[in-house]
Structure 1
Amino acid sequence: MRKKIPSLNALTIFEAAARQQSFTRAAEELALTQGAVCRQIAGLEEYLCLPLFARVKKRVILTPAGRQYAERIRVHIARIERDTLELMAQQDGGGVLELAVVPTFATQWLIPRMAEFNQERPDITVNLHTKTDAFLFSETSFHAAIHSGNVAWPGTSGDFLISEGDTMPVCSPALLERFAKQVRKQAQKQASGKPRPAREIGMPEIAALPLLHLTTRLNDWRTWFELHEYRNDVSAVKGARYELFTMLVSAAVAGLGVALIPRFMVQAELDAGTLVIPLERSLSGTTGYYLAYPEEHASFAPLTAFRQWLLEVAGKP
């Protein structure tokens, strides 16, 4: 059955006339005669069975229906133009890659390295979109995705990139210093025993700090305490919860508590001194990061180039 879609030529002329609020200026913009513009608009109005413009003396004014239709059509015409230009840009392997990626991996690992790829392939644009849950590629415009998990994405081709590595407790230096002062005061009240140095704390002190949690990993603190033979069932589940690692990192930097975060995600903050490791006790991670893509995208030139670069970068120490 034929779809109810007007000609693209008529829609393009209508969009120009609506934007210019003038048939004459639309004709000049499109290098047409004013008569050609008038005929296309009249034909479109006949096709739609309603007026798009009101003729007032020598002026044309959009009707309410015409204004609404113009706003919608403008979006679609711009999208068609963008898609066409992106397709034309795929010559010689260039183009646009639509990539879904988990947020913290994007901000803490991928984006800091993207300048290198941009220098190597300035003809490829990588658009990053955050996605935390699995999805069907057939229902999206994504060419590929970087996800975290214990196995590759079912039903896709893909590559292992990096392991999440050890998870460490981290907190702000200010929070640690405040807590250390409290420890010293308590120790000074005791008749015997020397107060601990400012940053020498152990498992009991960690348990007494505000603990921050990732919503999807609420058992991490309990597992961490059990691994290091310190029973802390009650306080291990207390504390604020955050949906994303990026939020957890920000909360730790802000001094809201101590968080368990993979070291690679906070290496920049550790190097800058905005976060510190109060106690060198880790929790081994079993999660990895994978590049996943449907088989039909495997030969897509921008993805092929990005995949090759990504695997090289991921393999560097």
Structure 2
Amino acid sequence: MSTDVKTPLTFRRYPSTTALQCFETAARHLSFTNAAQEMHMTQSAISKQVAQLEEMLNLSLFYRTPHRISLTPAGKTYYLEVLEILKHIEAATTSLMSNNDNSEVLKIVSHPTFCSRWLMPALNGFGRAHPLINLNIKELAGPFFSEDQNVDVAFLYGDGIWGGMESIKLFDEYNVAVCHPDYLAGKAPCTSNIAQCTLLQLSSRPSAWYEYFRQQDIRIEGTFVGPRFDTFHTTISAALLGYGIALVPLRLVAPELQSGALVRAWNYAAKGRGAYYISYPLSLGNSHKVKVIVEWISTYLQHSNDPQQDIECAW
């Protein structure tokens, strides 16, 4: 009669969390003394933890002189990696402590400006209506979804086709030219003399102004010239300060247009090449939390004031 015996895991020697914290703190301060103060330990204890870590790694992490310490090349590399490890531990611990056994975490990613200007108003009241679903929202500026990412729902701009994703169209994009109310005072219309106007540019859409005028069958020079910004948020901020004219999605700048903080430089609204979507992995199609957020966003769209309604009806 044979008995199955589980093979024990091979022993691996890992540094303690305390050793990693002592190293990270010392590396950040480049001082064992300051690290000791932050960690509420003695300087010798910090030094001993780091020395034991170096002995285990068989590498020197610091150059030591009588008056200062500095990171070795290996120490610099290890510091960045350890910093990320400690951040993950902190995030995992905080997440676990903040949720009860019956709650779910809904992980959302969105472009920064879309998140602050449209998604946050759309999610107002969600937590009260669904107290057992805790939102974890991350803002990322570039293309950020891939199937191996730990994301439940993504708010994306594009054609609606992403591998492994189910996408539901929210709305088309219409871009309008906006500026401070005083900006065009004393200036000729931009289409007749573009040299008098500064066109604020978005780095990720270098041909946006060219497309804006091309849709109107207007040929002008200088559509690629002007200060460049990474996000719509910064571009809108620059327009509010009178830097020039920004070309931005109508939905993202509706509050400033309604308040009069910004005005339309020209009445034309250029339809964008893409649209905005709420997307989620195909594997989560039956997920309760995903169904809840999709229904919430759909209801919000049905009952919210739509600044694009008149424009879309005209197309």
Q: Provide the TM-score with structure 2 as the length reference.
A: 0.66
Instruction: Find the counterpart in structure 1 of residue 71 from structure 2.
Output: none
Task: From the CA coordinates, give the structure whose radius of gyration is larger.
Answer: 1
Give the residue type in structure 2 aligned to 1:62: A
The alignment yields a C-alpha RMSD, in angstroms, of 3.3
**Kept in 2: contact 1:96–1:124 (CA 8 A):** yes
* Amino acid in the other structure paired with 1:277: R
1:89 counterpart residue number: 100
2:293 aligns with one of 294, 306, 310: 306
Residue 115 of structure 1: SS of its match in structure 2? coil
Q: Specify the code of the residue in structure 1 equivalent to 2:100.
A: A
Return the offset for 1:256.
0.9
Q: Deviations over 1:230-278 (max 9, x none)?
A: 320x222211222221121111111111121121111011112221012
Note closer, same or farther for the CA distance 1:297–1:282 as it changes in structure 2 (3 Å cut).
Answer: same
The structure 2 residue matched to 1:122, chosen from 99, 113, 131, is 131
Structure 2 residue identity aligned to 1:171: C
Return 5+ residue gaps in structure 2 as ranges: 1-8, 23-41, 54-81, 307-315
Match of 2:122 among 101, 106, 113: 113
1:136 aligns to what? 146
Separation in 2 of the partners of 1:284 and 1:146? Answer: 19
Q: Does the CA-based 8 Å contact 1:161-1:315 persist in structure 2?
A: no
* Alignment partner of 1:161 is 2:178: no
Change (3 A) 1:160 1:89: farther
Measured after TM superposition, the shift of residue 90 of structure 1 is 5.5
Partner of 1:284 in structure 2?
A: 271
The letter for the 1-side match of 2:164 is G
Provide the rounded CA distance (Å) in 2 between the counterparts of 1:225 and 1:307: 36
Cα separation, 2, equivalents of 1:102 and 1:80: 23
Contact 2:147 2:163 in 1 (8 A): no
Equivalent of 2:242 in 255, 263, 276 = 255
Larger deviation: 266-275 or 71-80? 71-80
Return the offset for 1:170. Answer: 0.6
Task: Output aligned runs, 1:227-266, within 5 Å.
Answer: 227-232=215-220, 234-266=221-253
Contact kept in structure 1, 2:153 and 2:279, CA below 8 Å: yes
SS at match of 2:182: helix
Aligned to 1:56: none
Deviations 1:179-234 (A, max 9, x none): x2x55xxxxxxxxxxxxxxxxx46215563111122222222222223323320x2
Counterparts of 1:18-29 in structure 2, within 5 Å, are: none
CA offsets 1:162-188 (integer angstroms, 9 cap, x no match)? 222x211111112123xx2x55xxxxx
CA distance in 2, matches of 1:302, 1:257: 43
In 2, distance between residues paired with 1:3 and 1:162?
55
Instruction: Determine if contact 1:152/1:159 at 8 Å carries over to the other structure.
Output: no
Cα distance in 2, alignment partners of residues 133 and 67 from structure 1: 39
Identity, in percent, stands at 24
Which structure has the highest helix share of the two? 1
Deviates most, 271-280 or 296-305: 296-305
- Taking the TM superposition and a 5 Å limit, the aligned residue runs for 1:43-62 are 62=45
2:179 matched residue in structure 1:
171
| Offset of residue 128 of structure 1 | 1.6
* Aligned residue in 2 for 1:39: none
Shift in Å, 1:110:
0.7
Residues 116-167 of structure 1: CA deviation (Å, up to 9, x unaligned): 21231233221221222143231x3322211100223222123212222x21
Cα distance between partner residues in 2 of 1:236 and 1:273 = 26
Letter in 1 for 2:117: Q
Query: Aligned pair in 2 of structure 1 residues 78, 210: CA closer, same or farther (>3 Å)?
Result: closer
Q: Pick from 280, 289, 299: which aligns with 1:293?
A: 280
Q: Is the counterpart of residue 64 in structure 1 residue 40 in structure 2?
A: no
Q: Number of paired residues?
A: 244
Q: Which has the higher contact order (CA 8 A, sep 6+)?
A: 1
Question: Does the alignment pair 1:267 with 2:276?
Answer: no
Report the alpha carbon displacement of residue 100 of structure 1 after superposing the two structures with TM: 0.9
Is the 1:160–1:289 Cα contact (8 Å) retained in structure 2?
Answer: yes
What does 1:179-198 align with in structure 2 at a 5 Å threshold?
A: 180=186
Call closer, same or farther: CA 1:271–1:207 in 2, change over 3 Å: farther
